[in-house]
Structure 1
Amino acid sequence: MPKCMISLSIILLAQAATVDSAAPVAPPPGPPVIASPFPLPVQKGAARPMDYPGNWTTTADYPVAALRANEQGTSAFSVIVDKAGRVKECRITSSSGSAPLDEATCRLVTQRARFFPAVDEQNNPIEGTYANRIRWVLPAVTPPEPGTALTTFIVELDGSISDCSVNLTGATARQLSKLGNTCASTARMDPYKGPDGKPVRKRVTMRIEVMTEAIAAPAPSAP
């Protein structure tokens, strides 16, 4: 089985355990929280966020590797902001203790954060700095409900993926309903090979079925 297929199964299972799009009103612990959500006091050489820093990360951004390892913590970061207000460089100044969380912190801040650039005495834009922290909190775990997730796609001769679709049925569909990006995120894998060693096209069907059953409570232990 190609490695990407295994990764796809892991993502499906992780989402089933952590995402419940039908959950009422009260959100789970998270998303990751920017420790100082509002613009910091203006300082010489300091850039200021254009938008609410708490929007730079969401629960869906939680790295799968960190979820599987049950990792959480606070990643402190510092960025250099160019004259156009974009992040030029990001570094972790205090680790969360999790490499995936630290990596995600700088990657997401670099991609999403936009700033009013720092200015000099003549009010001309200059390179500036900004520092903050992201507190990563493990999302609440929702038990999977009965249902199926059927994923189909074609692995082309060059390893690209085509005709990809995810069909969700049963109660678990509401937990897996945010998997619409699965096909887009699995864009390529090693092609299948025929007996002569040449690439061949194959259609792949993966079915994940969730079943639950009531069981009796364990008997009380003897005194």
Structure 2
Amino acid sequence: MSRFLILAGIAAMMLAHPSVAQRRITDPWSWITTRDYPPELVAAGTTGITNVRFDISEGGRVENCREEYVDVDQLGDLTCRLLMERARYEPAYDRQGSPFRSRGTFGISWEIENGAPAIVYAADYGDAVPRNSPRGWYGPGDLPVRDLPSGSGSLVMRFDISTEGRMTGCSVERPSPSAAVNRQACRVLERRARFHPPIGRDGLPRATAGFVVLRFWAE
């Protein structure tokens, strides 16, 4: 049996049919940095994945952040606190021009590389929103992970998202050791992933691009 984890992307989810979709107005790469890694966890070699969900207020602030998946409670709490302090959005607007609340997700991996803290951002869908849960994009038997010497691994895929919300042009940017796993990873993703594309100020959907980090292991 194999298991997969796509870290939740930086995404926002509309709660109604907006005239203008929400968008980030601060750089998400500045929301959490290596300077935020608790030194006691670095010293202890503590690492972990954190996926959170939150509300985006009419004023564009992150509120009600809660943990969806965390390996280390302290890192989950810290992720939420930093997002509520630093993340800012232009809120979504309805057809009458009034801002309304929406929801978002965010995922990172707190890692230590050669004794130094590292923050690996999980995914970015370019302000598009997954129509179906990324957790369902892969299942047991989808990838030949047993071909890997260690039975586990990770890879990074980049792709385009069309105005119809379909993924195209998927390519593996940081491959796993298995060419078969790399080929199949994009095929499965293009077949299953669907998105609500972002909406421009003209009220029309626009194409965008994104990436995901996929981790997998055999049991």
TM-score (norm 2): 0.44
Tell me which of the two structures has the higher relative contact order, counting C-alpha pairs closer than 8 angstroms and 6 or more residues apart: 2
Q: By percentage of residues, which structure has more strand?
A: 2
Q: Whose radius of gyration is greater, 1 or 2? A: 1
TM-score (norm 1): 0.43
